[in-house]
Chain A
Amino acid sequence: MEWLDNFWATYSTLVLSVGTNVLLALSIYLTLACGLLTVANAAFMGIGAYAATLLTLNTGVPFPCAILGGALLPALVALAIGRPTLRLSGVYLAMATLAFGEVVRVVILNAETLTGGALGLNGIPQLTAWYDVALAVGVTLYVLLRLAHSRVGRTMTAISQDELATELMGLNVGAYKLFSFALGAALAGLAGGLNAHFTFFISPNEYGFERGVEILAMGVLGGSGSPWGALIGAVLITLLPELLRGLGHYRPLLNGIILIVIILYSPKGIWDILQSAPRRARPTVAS
């Protein structure tokens, strides 16, 4: 199994990154499934990363507790800001969550005594193993797939299609939106905590606008209609820069062009294309 050891030595960070990006993409899938366009997940990831890291570095709690703490804090923050923020919809919500994300980044940047400010936190023990990430991804994927076919999932789909009608049917729309927002935040925080423990070093700039936009791109590119779409989007966006590594300076250029081309030809995401191809091929009664 020597090739496996060599492979792991070189690519472990990449594989683990794919895993945490899948979690992030799933977190945004969850909010998009409820019709919420939030870009705050990067900030929640940052909160989770810092919470888990500070727990590991400053207190002696075991790794799983630190990670759970990292997932819990963003969820609490989401519950706190959720009520006023979720009154907005559409692009206004997106922009408001974007602002929130920037505020979080700036707060982390300026709370130097706690978070190390711009220098970030260093020397984080490499506690994340592949099975932690695999477990997290597996459980999350299972839960979300089951959720999609459950009453909760159907309610969320209904909310995303027509909020007013859903409310008129007697369902507590606000509660469902808050639930999706908070759970999405918890997932992002989980990803952040896991990520921090294999990247050795975290800084506030990693969880800003660029990250938020990247997460959104993962969700939209893969297709926001299904957790599988989120998975595809995450894998693609994580692996693409690596596959293009040979191009050096012009790598981001090709990255950008590929992004444009994919969006132009499958605006609803890749999952949509994969799903509809067999449907189109099947002969219908009308033809």
Chain B
Amino acid sequence: MLAQQFINAISLGGVYALFAFGFTLVFGVLNVINLAHGAVFMIGAYAALHAVVQLRLPLLGGIFVAMLVTGVAGWILDKWIFTPLRARRAPHLAPMIATIGVAISLTSTIEGYFGTQNQRFPAELLPAETLSLADVQITWLELRIILLSLALMGVLLWGLKRSAVGRALRALSESAKAAALVGVNVEGLFRLTSVIGAMLGGVAGVLIALYSNAVFPQMGQPMLHKGIAIVILGGMGDIRGALLGAFFLAFAEVFSVAYIGSTMRDAVSFGLLFTILLVRPQGLFGHAAQRRV
């Protein structure tokens, strides 16, 4: 039983981590709290569902389509909203309010077009075979979800650490002005970050949709709350923090449902979050905002 819950927590944590990565990346580099991330997550799920159902693509193709669609969404978000606001030197809350508008618009469009009911992936596409190791049952689907999310995270972490683009992104998150002075293409990288962040949200959307086999317009909201809780836990703008926070939350959720009961699930997560906040408000890896003298 324990091992089973452990596996569940790992798969959930992996997906949460992808979502949180996208969110914290946009915050760390663009300094924007992207409250449309939940809506993009939801769009990813819908895109994959319809790609699979209408274009008859395999699951992996569906994920690819989701990444494409949400990548475009991220591109549009930066080109038409974040860049103009940056150019006008808007107060730093303005982009956040704009993303609220975007989230409302996206959710409403999907609701109007597809209706509010829960849509499901066709059953024959979901691999139902289970694998038995020791006394742990793990479905092929869960296994693939774990592998995909770990693979994506690995690629991202490696990219951030080793590649030139990754170094530029890290420089950008420290100081945009200094990065510009050393020749980093600031605007281009901002756009790239928005695209990557949205893609991560989209993939997370598909994976959660597969995991729970539920696609509905409001699915982004609870995920956004969890995403915020995760990045608060881990420290805003910190990738390792997002990773740790995601697994922490997933484990807390899975084990509290298993051992306490599902009504207390949110209470446990947020209770833990709040306790940690009282002790260390900047999260595990965050740094308390330093006063620049």
Chain A residues with CB under 8 Å of chain B are: 37, 84-85, 87-92, 94-96, 98-100, 102-103, 106-107, 109-110, 163-164, 209-210, 213, 216-217, 220-221, 224, 249-253, 255-260, 263-264, 267-268
Contact B289 A89 (CB under 8 A): yes
User: Residue B266 contacts which of A84, A106, A267 (CB distance < 8 angstroms)?
Assistant: A106
* Chain A hits for B206, CB < 8 A: none
Q: How many A-B residue pairs have CB under 8 A?
A: 139
* Chain B hits for A267, CB < 8 A: 85, 88, 90-91, 94
User: Residue B111 contacts which of A95, A220, A249 (CB distance < 8 angstroms)?
Assistant: A249
Contact B288 A250 (CB under 8 A): no
Stretch at the interface among B8-16, B97-105, B140-148, B166-174: B97-105
Interface SS majority for chain A: helix
Chain B's closest residue to A249 (CB) is: B112
* Cα–Cα, bound, A260→B104 (Å): 10
User: Residue B267 contacts which of A88, A110, A209, A264 (CB distance < 8 angstroms)?
Assistant: A110
Chain B's closest residue to A272 (CB) is: B91
* Cα–Cα, bound, A210→B129 (Å): 40
B interface size (C-beta, 8 A)? 51
Contact B101 A87 (CB under 8 A): no
Chain B's closest residue to A37 (CB) is: B93
Contact A263 B267 (CB under 8 A): no
Contact B293 A220 (CB under 8 A): no
Contact B281 A96 (CB under 8 A): yes
Chain B's closest residue to A102 (CB) is: B270
- Given the interface pairs A95-B232, A260-B98, the reply to whether A106 lies near B270 with Cβ below 8 Å is yes
* Chain A hits for B109, CB < 8 A: 250, 253
Instruction: Give, as a whole number of angstroms, the nearest-CB distance from B256 to chain A.
Output: 12
Q: Which residues of chain B in 263-278 are interfacial with respect to chain A, using CB atoms and an 8 Å cutoff?
A: 263-264, 266-267, 270-271, 273-274, 277-278
Please encode chain B, from 276 to 293, with 1 for each CB lying within 8 Å of some chain A CB and 0 for all others.
011001100010110101
- Given the interface pairs A91-B33, A220-B93, A257-B101, the reply to whether A163 lies near B277 with Cβ below 8 Å is no
* Chain A hits for B112, CB < 8 A: 249-250, 253
* Cα–Cα, bound, A163→B100 (Å): 29
Chain A's closest residue to B276 (CB) is: A99
Contact A99 B289 (CB under 8 A): no
Chain A's closest residue to B103 (CB) is: A256
- Given the interface pairs A85-B281, A106-B266, A221-B97, the reply to whether A92 lies near B288 with Cβ below 8 Å is yes
* Interchain residue pairs A-B with the least CB separation, the first 5: A267-B90, A256-B104, A256-B105, A259-B101, A260-B101
* Cα–Cα, bound, A99→B279 (Å): 14
Please encode chain B, from 216 to 260, with 1 for each CB lying within 8 Å of some chain A CB and 0 for all others.
000001001100110110001000000000000000000000000
* Cα–Cα, bound, A89→B289 (Å): 6
Chain A's closest residue to B95 (CB) is: A263
Instruction: Give, as a whole number of angstroms, the nearest-CB distance from A244 to chain B.
Output: 11
- Given the interface pairs A99-B229, A103-B270, A256-B108, the reply to whether A263 lies near B281 with Cβ below 8 Å is no
Contact B91 A88 (CB under 8 A): no
Q: Which residues of chain B in 169-213 are interfacial with respect to chain A, using CB atoms and an 8 Å cutoff?
A: none
- CB of B84 closer than 8 Å to a CB of A: yes
* Chain B hits for A107, CB < 8 A: 267
* Cα–Cα, bound, A249→B115 (Å): 10
* Cα–Cα, bound, A15→B255 (Å): 47
Contact B236 A252 (CB under 8 A): no
* Cα–Cα, bound, A87→B287 (Å): 12
Contact B236 A263 (CB under 8 A): no
* Chain B hits for A249, CB < 8 A: 108, 111-112
Contact B281 A102 (CB under 8 A): no
* Chain A hits for B150, CB < 8 A: none
* Chain B hits for A259, CB < 8 A: 97-98, 100-101, 104
- Given the interface pairs A103-B274, A249-B111, A250-B108, the reply to whether A95 lies near B231 with Cβ below 8 Å is yes
* Chain A hits for B281, CB < 8 A: 84-85, 87-88, 92, 96
* Cα–Cα, bound, A221→B91 (Å): 11
* Cα–Cα, bound, A6→B277 (Å): 51
User: Residue A88 contacts which of B225, B263, B289 (CB distance < 8 angstroms)?
Assistant: B289
Chain A's closest residue to B94 (CB) is: A267
Contact B293 A164 (CB under 8 A): yes
User: Residue A253 contacts which of B98, B105, B232 (CB distance < 8 angstroms)?
Assistant: B105
Chain B's closest residue to A89 (CB) is: B289
* Chain A hits for B270, CB < 8 A: 99, 102-103, 106
- CB of B70 closer than 8 Å to a CB of A: no
- CB of B35 closer than 8 Å to a CB of A: yes
* Chain B hits for A87, CB < 8 A: 281, 288
* Chain B hits for A95, CB < 8 A: 33, 228, 231-232, 236
User: Residue B232 contacts which of A89, A99, A210 (CB distance < 8 angstroms)?
Assistant: A99
* Chain B hits for A264, CB < 8 A: 81, 84-85, 98
Contact B273 A268 (CB under 8 A): no
- CB of B149 closer than 8 Å to a CB of A: no
Contact B97 A220 (CB under 8 A): yes
* Chain A hits for B100, CB < 8 A: 213, 217, 256, 259
Contact A263 B288 (CB under 8 A): no
Instruction: Give, as a whole number of angstroms, the nearest-CB distance from A165 to chain B.
Output: 10
Name the residue in A37, A100, A253 with the highest tally of chain B Cβ atoms < 10 Å from its Cβ. A253
